[in-house]
Structure 1
Amino acid sequence: MSSDNPVKIDAVHVATLKRQDSDFYPSNGSYRAGALTPDTPGTPFSQLSPSAMDSGFELIQPDTDYFNTGEIPNQIHSKEVMTSTNPPKNKWRIYAIYVWQITGGFSDAAPGALLPYMESTYDLNYTEVSLIWMANAIGFIFVACLSHTIQTHLGKFKSMIMGTMSSIIMYAIISSGTIFPIIAVAFFFGGCGLAIVLAQANVFLARLDKSSKYLSFCHGSYGIGATISPLVATVMAGSGIKWNYFYLILLSMMIINCITFSFAFKGSDEDLAPWDHDDDHKQIELNDLNNVSQMENQKVKDNGAFIGALKFPITWIAAFFVLFYQGSEVSLAGWIVTFLLDYRHGTKSSGYVASGFWAGLTVGRLVIAAPMHKYFGARRSVFVISVLSIVLVSLTWAIPHVVADGVLISLTGLFVGPVYPLMISVVSKLLPRKIQVVSLTIITAAGSSGGAFFPFIIGLLSQRTGAFIVLPGFILLYSLMIILWLCLPNYERKETKTLWQKIW
């Protein structure tokens, strides 16, 4: 072959010049070098000598149109999208997570209704009884510190089973009605169990096609449990049933969760392996798009998952965001009834306002989150509904009418609800897959800490200034959330050259 008329091919030795169909051999994927016309039959590619290749070929960039038309089979392998039916067992995994989230909401919302009975049983003040939330938060933080080890050595399936077993230990201890210090330790095990499963569940759902829909239903399921739980707990305790027997219900529910996870996630580590690796090229493009340096992304690759997660700025921005979010959410739900009783002359029926808040949160996650993500984008949606939540709480503070305030608080729940699933949808796209599980565990641990720390602070301040402090506290925490949200890269825009594009 003459070097005067070289045949140009790309870096994978695929000829990009248009050839006759007869020049391509589908059976062995070979090409005829030099077959530029029917009159020059050429030489099979596999029979070319190295010297001939050196003299007769030069490398060029692939012809984009030629590659995209599918004219070269078996050369381009597009990655399949993970859906609720691909792999087929995913639908059962989704259902299992939803049932577990109902149990999680049922568990988290129970202490608020059972606190008076716990206080009277063990003769505790508010500071002492709040240790159950602190122990729960410590469990989350403990798992966050070990999340890289748990993920590496246990994988998805064993992690899910370990998480549910840890929760089973919690409910078994509490239902026994033992001494309070052991009850507090039980909440530590509960925090560990929730942290392990929640991180795995968030990562799995975030990698699905139409992830915002599944995340909305997932965290909406949590709201269903949180709405029902205070009602059931109040009826049981008010009927003279010992408060600790309520946890027998949770014990039964979590055993069912353990069984469903055993079926749904068995073999998941192998089944979901194709979607577990990081698409480095795509991540670099995303980071460039949002002015996050490639050097920062390279640090994540070079360090271990845990160190990489700690060094990745988005982990901490999202962690503080959720810290303030769950702190404001739990504080408002836990103290709004006291506010209505003290400042709006409410009656015992004011207790239903808390259920109204959780019901609004549930509806927001199930009905509003997915459409907002589809039509407005997750970033804009979180900004808008956060501002609306501040407006509604400000009106609650300003309008001295118990019924109006109850309605406003329920509407607040409606807009508070979609924030969490929309946030997970955004953050999961900004985190390299290598550190997703660890980062999301740190983020959920921060949320749990906020849900324990800020209600405790509101309680201490209420003893000095009054329970009205819950409303300005909510406004302050939500304002900090908005600032942090605007600090996240705007991946939904193709270009972020101007300040407005970065924000909106």
Structure 2
Amino acid sequence: MNISTILPMMQTTKASKTLSITIGYYVAFLMFGLVAAVLGPTLPGLASQTHTTIRQVSMLFTARSLGYLFGAFLGGRLYDRFPGHPILSIVLAMMTIIIATVPLIPFLWGLLTLLLLLGVIEGVLELGGNTLLVWLHKEKTGPFMNGLHFFFGVGAFVTPLIVGQVFLHTGQIQWAYWILAILILPSAGWLCRLPSPEIQSNARHQEQNAKKTFLVGVIVVLFLLYVGSEVSFGGWIYTYTISLYQGVETTAAYLTSAFWGALTFGRLLAIPFAAYFAPRLLLLANFIGCLISVSLLLIGTPSLTIIWIGTLGVGVSMAPVFPTLLTFAGRHIQITAKINSWFCIGSGVGGMTLPLLIGQVFEIYGPQAVMFTIFADLILGLGLLLGVMLCSFRFRQA
């Protein structure tokens, strides 16, 4: 067998292995999405299970968010030191155990502990998927990153349907958690048998990134602003709508589902665009689309039709921002797990703080404060994006 025969076979084998690894990441993020969306629709059931009020059991969200921040920080240290696939397999297995245990805990403090640990696992999992995909595909990451977050959206979209059907047939939430645990378990073994991407954190890369600390910091703040606006819109559109119009609770619920559905569809739609357009152009288009869509909701008291149009527009426009911003960062910075952990921490802080701020101004200024706050956040984000683009250009010239 000569060299001309061996090389194509080696390339085919490598491409097949890369495809298998990519599918493994997609499956992991599909499971992540399933788990990420389960708490909201099961919150009343968990309150009944622990004999607490909705206000008390809502502390589970805070515990989970704090755990996520720690998990992102921890993951940045783990993935820069150890092969990534065993770590992903372990956290998926741990996620299975925690999800299966949640319906068995009758005490709020017990659930708080579990959700804190679940947040840690989710932080390690999300950081790992984002980082390892960049290491696997390098400069061709763009469309694959949008695909990764599309599968997260699919999982988040499916979970409420599972919960609804389980509750419809049993009147309880236990089987919803156990079904998710059964779905997650096989995914833990997928990546364990495949080689992990090469760790990208040697001394040369650390020195290179040290020269770009300011650029990293600015991108962290940009993640904070974007995720804050995404979580705020998805979390407040229901309350915003029912505050403007009485008796539209069902419509408001559909609007919430429509937003997350549009976010998922937008990520699928962005995959071919990410393959042909530079990340900076996509980000500019996305932020401008978000601003135009939100501005529709700022003109007087918008009709329900306008609210629908604005909500769908925001969802589709926001969809590619997170994965595209990761791709953009990878074009200008050698991405290590430690650096990616700061991106995740910025995202977690944004998802915690802006919705809380809106809750404070909502009581004072009414429902329009929701959209004004999100609009201001996006304006600041667009300005910062332009600053990041300028900084990245200057660093390329350095």
Indicate whether the TM-score tops 0.5: yes
CA deviations on 1:41-90 (whole Å, 9 max, x unpaired) are xxxxxxxxxxxxxxxxxxxxxxxxxxxxxxxxxxxxxxxxxx99636422
The 2-side partners of 1:90 and 1:175 are apart by 38
CA deviations on 1:447-482 (whole Å, 9 max, x unpaired) are 133223333343344345444432222212212222
The 2-side partners of 1:475 and 1:364 are apart by 20
Match of 1:97 among 13, 25, 35: 25
Q: 1:100: Cα distance to partner? A: 1.6
**Residue 373 of structure 2 corresponds to which residue in structure 1?**
473
- Would the alpha carbon gap of residues 277 and 316 (structure 1) be closer, same or farther in structure 2, given more than 3 Å must change? closer
The 2-side partners of 1:367 and 1:193 are apart by 29
Match of 1:387 among 273, 288, 311: 288
The 2-side partners of 1:162 and 1:131 are apart by 27
Q: 1:488: Cα distance to partner? A: 1.8
Between 380-389 and 485-494, report the one with greater CA deviation: 485-494
- Would the alpha carbon gap of residues 190 and 360 (structure 1) be closer, same or farther in structure 2, given more than 3 Å must change? same
Check the 8 A contact 1:175/1:246 in 2, yes or no.
Answer: no
Residue 401, structure 1, aligned to residue 303, structure 2:
yes
The 1-side partners of 2:173 and 2:373 are apart by 31
Q: 1:491: Cα distance to partner? A: 8.7
The 2-side partners of 1:365 and 1:94 are apart by 16
Check the 8 A contact 1:358/1:413 in 2, yes or no.
Answer: yes
Q: 1:221: Cα distance to partner? A: 0.8
Q: What pairs up with 1:263-302 in 2 under 5 angstroms?
A: 263=193, 265=194, 267-268=195-196, 272-273=197-198, 276=200, 298=207, 300=209
Check the 8 A contact 2:290/2:314 in 1, yes or no.
Answer: yes
**Residue 246 of structure 1 corresponds to which residue in structure 2?**
176
- Would the alpha carbon gap of residues 387 and 130 (structure 1) be closer, same or farther in structure 2, given more than 3 Å must change? farther
Q: What pairs up with 1:82-231 in 2 under 5 angstroms?
A: 86=14, 88-119=16-47, 121=49, 122-126=51-55, 128-207=56-135, 208=137, 210-231=140-161
Q: 1:157: Cα distance to partner? A: 2.3
Between 247-256 and 146-155, report the one with greater CA deviation: 146-155
Task: Kindly provide the amino acid, as one letter, of the partner of residue 143 in structure 1.
Answer: G
Q: 1:382: Cα distance to partner? A: 0.7
RMSD of the alignment, in Å? 3.1
**Residue 294 of structure 1 corresponds to which residue in structure 2?**
none
**Residue 18 of structure 1 corresponds to which residue in structure 2?**
none
Task: Kindly provide the amino acid, as one letter, of the partner of residue 475 in structure 1.
Answer: F
Task: Kindly provide the amino acid, as one letter, of the partner of residue 24 in structure 2.
Answer: A
The 2-side partners of 1:341 and 1:85 are apart by 55
Task: Kindly provide the amino acid, as one letter, of the partner of residue 123 in structure 1.
Answer: T
Residue 260, structure 1, aligned to residue 190, structure 2:
yes
The 2-side partners of 1:124 and 1:428 are apart by 45
Q: Secondary structure at the match of 2:302?
A: coil
- Would the alpha carbon gap of residues 341 and 211 (structure 1) be closer, same or farther in structure 2, given more than 3 Å must change? same
Higher relative contact order (CA 8 A, sep 6+): 2
Q: Secondary structure at the match of 2:82?
A: helix
Residue 343, structure 1, aligned to residue 244, structure 2:
yes
The 2-side partners of 1:193 and 1:401 are apart by 42
Q: Select the structure that is richer in helix.
A: 2
- Would the alpha carbon gap of residues 152 and 276 (structure 1) be closer, same or farther in structure 2, given more than 3 Å must change? closer
- Would the alpha carbon gap of residues 258 and 84 (structure 1) be closer, same or farther in structure 2, given more than 3 Å must change? farther
- Would the alpha carbon gap of residues 491 and 213 (structure 1) be closer, same or farther in structure 2, given more than 3 Å must change? farther
The 1-side partners of 2:12 and 2:216 are apart by 27
TM-score by length of 2: 0.85
Mark the structure with the bigger radius of gyration.
1
Match of 2:257 among 349, 352, 355: 355
Q: Secondary structure at the match of 2:378?
A: helix
The 2-side partners of 1:129 and 1:115 are apart by 7
Q: 1:178: Cα distance to partner? A: 2.7
Q: Secondary structure at the match of 1:89?
A: helix
Q: 1:91: Cα distance to partner? A: 1.1
- Would the alpha carbon gap of residues 236 and 428 (structure 1) be closer, same or farther in structure 2, given more than 3 Å must change? same
Check the 8 A contact 2:259/2:314 in 1, yes or no.
Answer: yes
Check the 8 A contact 2:44/2:54 in 1, yes or no.
Answer: no
Q: 1:220: Cα distance to partner? A: 0.7
Residue 439, structure 1, aligned to residue 363, structure 2:
no
Task: Kindly provide the amino acid, as one letter, of the partner of residue 279 in structure 2.
Answer: A
Check the 8 A contact 2:296/2:306 in 1, yes or no.
Answer: no
- Would the alpha carbon gap of residues 102 and 298 (structure 1) be closer, same or farther in structure 2, given more than 3 Å must change? closer
Q: Secondary structure at the match of 1:324?
A: helix
- Would the alpha carbon gap of residues 430 and 384 (structure 1) be closer, same or farther in structure 2, given more than 3 Å must change? same
Q: Give aligned-pair identity as a percent.
A: 20
Residue 410, structure 1, aligned to residue 339, structure 2:
no
Q: 1:404: Cα distance to partner? A: 3.0
Structure 1: 5+ residue runs without aligned partners? 1-82, 284-296, 301-307, 498-504
Task: Kindly provide the amino acid, as one letter, of the partner of residue 129 in structure 2.
Answer: A
Q: 1:419: Cα distance to partner? A: 0.4
Q: 1:429: Cα distance to partner? A: 2.5
**Residue 321 of structure 2 corresponds to which residue in structure 1?**
419
**Residue 6 of structure 1 corresponds to which residue in structure 2?**
none
Q: 1:445: Cα distance to partner? A: 2.6
Check the 8 A contact 1:212/1:425 in 2, yes or no.
Answer: yes
